[in-house]
């Protein structure tokens, strides 16, 4: 019997089931946010990204971004928000199926799918940020050089300091991924 056909232990199955619960829970929390600080906004302005919607002081931020020629943020500009929740639900379902089947080969496939989805999400966010920061209107009242806000970290544009942060939902997704990796170590061939 080769390594990939061996059954995972019951403990590993429970960890995979817990990963599925973590994935489902992630749908109810923000995945990412940007907080904009400036002298006139010391409390900060937020753009908060959930898997299916945007939240925060988006109207105020759009009004300010107009001055540097940046396009408006809005759910209509992020078609991913209309279907991402279904992909996450599907991933949770596949994770539950993996927990029930307890097959290594299925777990390997799930991990590859999970990692591919994560990489795709990071690239999608990077390209969206690049589009917003580098396609500035030449007719804008305030001229600034094009820029790419970081996915995680700090950026300064004019008198605004922007902090990009992971949200609770994404930490739950990271926890789920780690829970999927533990059985590979725990049930490794002796």
| Domain extents in the chain | 3-186
- pLDDT score for 190: 44
**What number is the average pLDDT over the span 127-149?**
91
* Bigger pLDDT: 186 vs 35: 35
- pLDDT score for 2: 54
Tell me what percent of the residues of the chain surpass a pLDDT of 70. 96
Q: How confident is the model at residue 186 (pLDDT cuts 50, 70, 90)?
A: confident
- pLDDT score for 6: 76
- pLDDT score for 158: 84
Residues facing residue 154 across a β-bridge = 163
∠ Cα 13 20 7 (to 5°):
20
Kindly tell me if the per-residue pLDDT of 1 is higher than 80: no
Q: At 112, which helix (H) or strand (E)?
A: helix 104-134
Give the chain's mean pLDDT. Answer: 93
State the pairing for strand pair 160-166/153-157.
antiparallel
Question: How long a stretch of residues is the chain?
Answer: 190
- pLDDT score for 5: 59
Q: How confident is the model at residue 188 (pLDDT cuts 50, 70, 90)?
A: confident
Kindly tell me if the per-residue pLDDT of 113 is higher than 70: yes
Kindly tell me if the per-residue pLDDT of 104 is higher than 80: yes
């Amino acid at each position: 019997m080769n390594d990939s056909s061996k059954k995972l232990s019951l403990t590993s199955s429970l960890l995979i089931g817990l990963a599925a619960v973590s994935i489902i829970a992630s749908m109810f929390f923000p995945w990412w946010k940007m907080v904009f600080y400036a002298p006139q906004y010391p409390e900060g302005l937020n753009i908060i990204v959930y898997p299916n919607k945007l939240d925060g002081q988006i109207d105020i931020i759009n009004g300010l971004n107009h001055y540097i020629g940046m396009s408006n943020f809005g759910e209509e500009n992020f078609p991913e928000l209309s279907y991402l929740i279904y992909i996450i639900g599907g991933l949770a379902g596949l994770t539950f199926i993996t927990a029930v089947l307890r097959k290594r080969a299925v777990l390997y496939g799930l991990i590859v799918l999970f990692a591919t989805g994560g990489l795709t999400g990071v690239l999608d966010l990077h390209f969206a940020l690049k589009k917003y920061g580098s396609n500035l209107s030449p007719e804008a009242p305030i001229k600034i050089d094009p820029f790419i806000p970081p996915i995680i970290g700090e950026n300064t544009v004019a008198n605004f300091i922007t902090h990009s942060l992971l949200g609770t939902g994404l930490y739950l997704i990271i926890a789920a991924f780690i829970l999927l990796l533990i059985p590979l170590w725990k049930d490794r061939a002796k």
